[in-house]
Amino acid sequence: MFIRQLKYLVTLADIGHFSRAAEACHVSQPALSNAIRNLEKELDLSLVRRGRNYEGLTAEGERVVGWAQQMLSSYDAMRQETVDAHKNLSGTLRIGAIPTTMPIVPLLTQSCQASYDQIKVTVLSLSSDEIARRLDTCDIDIGLTFMDDKSMDGFQVYPLFVERYVLAVRDGSVLQGRISLTWAEVAELPLCLLTANMQSRRIVDAAFRRAGVSPRIRMESDSIFALYSQLRCSDFCAVVPHSVLSLIELRQEIAMVPITPGLSRDIGLVVRRQDPYPPVITAALEMALKTPLQARFDSLISGVY
């Protein structure tokens, strides 16, 4: 009963509405409300601010929810550990990925899901800061993000590949036979870029500043998929991480070349420090780290760094 009470409280805190939280937990609203009241009695604390409707958590409630999330995560891990020595792994693997890495998530999960068909994967597009926050609160299991981001301090990190930035164009004649372009040359082209609030865009902006040039920006989006669609349907050019080219590796109408001087960052997987890892996370990490991403992505671009 105590585990169920904690689950009800965490769900209520997440959804912020009694009846919808009850629906999400597949119980009646009175049952959910009574369970939370019983939890308050057991802890001798007021956890929920109540008026005519749910009005949020008390300060004590906020702290209890944090502990509850960790306890529920450990409880799920304990249950998974009892599943026939990994032969019949099941459960949900929750991945938070920075937007530019969203296209490669299937490359990391396909082997695990092929081996364990009872594992469900949920993927969220998140900033590095949000990945760190959700790892801390056990809202996600694995992050896919920049390795050198300070918000990753204190987590266990597993490098995957070095991300390199390239110029992608639909009309290859723009390149005039060149196998690479400088940042100054790229700045003169009509560009579609990620929006300025995104970390990948800030990296690119810094490269333009170092070159002493201002780019000619024609279109911006916070979605890497929107940039890809724009690239395919217009004469705009895009500056993107070369891993994104896995979206277009079978489309011969897209040309891409390196930009000099080279711009790169390390990408990897991030998890909470714990021993042992839950079985689903262990299986996912083992298979993801065997995937030869660096060679695959590097083969998609011409030129030498």
Do residues 189 and 174 lie in contact, with contact meaning Cβ atoms separated by under 8 Å?
yes
Between the two ends of the chain, the Cα-to-Cα distance in Å is: 59
Helix axes 2-15 and 29-43, enclosed angle (nearest 10)? 110
CATH (one of 3.20.20.140, 3.40.190.290, 3.40.47.10, 1.10.10.10) for 162-265: 3.40.190.290
Give the per-residue pLDDT at 224: 87
Give the per-residue pLDDT at 295: 86
Give the per-residue pLDDT at 86: 54
| Fold match, 82-161+266-298 / 162-265 | yes
Query: Which DSSP state fits 40?
Result: H
CATH (one of 3.20.20.140, 3.90.1170.50, 1.10.10.10, 2.60.120.10) for 2-80: 1.10.10.10
CATH (one of 3.30.420.40, 1.10.3720.10, 3.40.190.10, 3.40.50.150) for 82-161+266-298: 3.40.190.10
Give the per-residue pLDDT at 252: 61
Token pair for 179 = 């196998």
All residue ranges of the chain with pLDDT < 50 are 250, 302-305
- Strand intervals (E) in the chain: 48-50, 54-57, 90-97, 118-125, 142-146, 156-169, 181-182, 190-194, 216-221, 237-241, 255-260, 264-271
Domain range summary for the chain, segments of one domain joined by +:
2-80, 82-161+266-298, 162-265
In this predicted model, what pLDDT tens digit does every residue of 133-171 receive, in sequence order?
Answer: 999 988 999 999 998 888 888 899 999 999 999 998 887
